[in-house]
Amino acid sequence: MRAALTLAAACLLALAGCDVLLPDKGDLGEPCLGSGICKGSLQCRGGVCSLPTEDGADGFDGWDGGEDGADANAEDAGEDAGEDAGEDAGEDAGEDAGEDAGEDAGEDAGEDAGEDGEDAEDAGADCTPGVELFAARVDYPTGGSSVAVATGDLNGDQILDLAVVVGSTNQVGILLGNGTGGVGDGTFAGVTPYPTDAAPWSLAVGDFNHDQILDLAVGCSSNSKVSVLLGQGSGNVGDGTFGARTDYATAAGPIGITAGDFNADQTLDLAVALNGSNAVSVLLGHETSGEADGTFPAHAEYPTGQSPWSLVHGDFNEDGILDLAVPSIADDSIGVLLGNQVGGAADGTFAAKADYGCGDESVAAAHADFDQDGIPDLAVVSMLDDTVSVLLGNGDAGVGDGTFAARVTYATGDRPIAVLAGDLDSDGLLDLVTANNHGDSLSLLPGNGDGTFDPARPLSASSYPNGLASGDFNGDGLTDLAIANQGSNDVSVLLRQNPCP
**pLDDT tens, residue by residue, 335-383:** 999 999 998 899 999 999 999 999 999 999 999 999 999 999 999 999 9
pLDDT at 197: 98
Kindly indicate the confidence band of residue 102, based on its pLDDT and cuts at 50, 70 and 90.
very low
Contact of 456 with 411, CB cutoff 8 Å: yes
How distant, in Å, are the alpha carbons of 40, 49, 153, 265, 390 from that of 53? 14, 13, 22, 18, 42
User: Who has greater pLDDT, 77 or 275?
Assistant: 275
Kindly indicate the confidence band of residue 499, based on its pLDDT and cuts at 50, 70 and 90.
confident
Q: Give the least confident one: 30-34, 101-105, 457-461.
A: 101-105
CA distance 359 to 219: 25
* Tens digits of residue pLDDT in 39-82: 554 555 445 555 443 333 332 222 222 223 333 333 333 333 33
Interval 318-333 mean pLDDT: 97
CA distance 24 to 91: 10
Helices (H) and strands (E) in the chain, counts: 1, 40
User: Who has greater pLDDT, 223 or 107?
Assistant: 223
CA distance 485 to 188: 16
Report pTM: 0.80
Q: Where are the beta strands (DSSP E) in 171-224?
A: 171-175, 177-180, 183-188, 192-195, 200-206, 215-220
Contact of 233 with 156, CB cutoff 8 Å: yes
CA distance 54 to 43: 12
How distant, in Å, are the alpha carbons of 141, 186, 350 from that of 271? 30, 32, 11
CA distance 149 to 332: 25
pLDDT of residue 123 exceeding 50, the answer is: no
Residue 371 gets which letter from DSSP?
T
Q: What's the full length of the chain, in residues?
A: 501
Contact of 76 with 374, CB cutoff 8 Å: yes
3-state secondary structure (DSSP) of residue 110: coil
pLDDT of residue 316 exceeding 60, the answer is: yes
Q: CB neighbours (10 Å) of residue 430?
A: 31
Q: Which residue in 9, 16, 10, 157 sits closest to 491, CA to CA?
A: 16
Q: CB neighbours (10 Å) of residue 28?
A: 28
CA distance 436 to 199: 22
Contact of 167 with 149, CB cutoff 8 Å: no
pLDDT at 299: 97
**For residue 61, how far is the Cα from the chain centroid?**
28
pLDDT at 501: 67
CA distance 368 to 378: 7
pLDDT at 121: 38
Contact of 19 with 146, CB cutoff 8 Å: no
pLDDT at 447: 98
How distant, in Å, are the alpha carbons of 20, 191, 195, 209, 416 from that of 174? 19, 5, 11, 20, 26
Contact of 369 with 378, CB cutoff 8 Å: no
Which residue type is seen at 448? N
Q: Which residue in 494, 19, 3, 495 sits closest to 256, CA to CA?
A: 19
CA distance 272 to 327: 12
pLDDT at 8: 33
Percent of the chain with pLDDT strictly greater than 90: 72
pLDDT at 30: 53
Instruction: Please report how many Cα atoms fall inside a 13 Å half-sphere around the Cα of residue 103, on the Cβ side.
Output: 27
Interval 450-463 mean pLDDT: 96
Contact of 413 with 386, CB cutoff 8 Å: yes
pLDDT at 107: 39
Residue 478 burial class via C-beta count within 10 angstroms: exposed 0-12, middle 13-18, buried 19 and up: buried
pLDDT of residue 108 exceeding 80, the answer is: no
pLDDT at 459: 96
Q: Find all residues with CB under 8 Å of 84, minimum gap 6, and list them.
A: 22, 23, 24, 25, 37, 77, 96, 98, 100, 101
Q: Where are the beta strands (DSSP E) in 261-374?
A: 269-274, 279-283, 287-288, 291-292, 300-303, 312-314, 323-328, 333-337, 339-342, 345-350, 354-357, 362-368
pLDDT of residue 114 exceeding 50, the answer is: no
Q: Which residue in 386, 396, 393, 341 sits closest to 362, CA to CA?
A: 386
3-state secondary structure (DSSP) of residue 291: strand
pLDDT at 37: 52
* Tens digits of residue pLDDT in 184-209: 999 999 999 999 999 999 999 999 99
Kindly indicate the confidence band of residue 323, based on its pLDDT and cuts at 50, 70 and 90.
very high
Residue 271 gets which letter from DSSP?
E
Q: Find all residues with CB under 8 Å of 304, minimum gap 6, and list them.
A: 273, 274, 278, 279, 280, 326, 328, 335, 337, 353
Contact of 321 with 315, CB cutoff 8 Å: yes
Among 15-19, 62-66, 390-394, the range of highest mean pLDDT: 390-394
Give me the chain's average pLDDT, please: 82
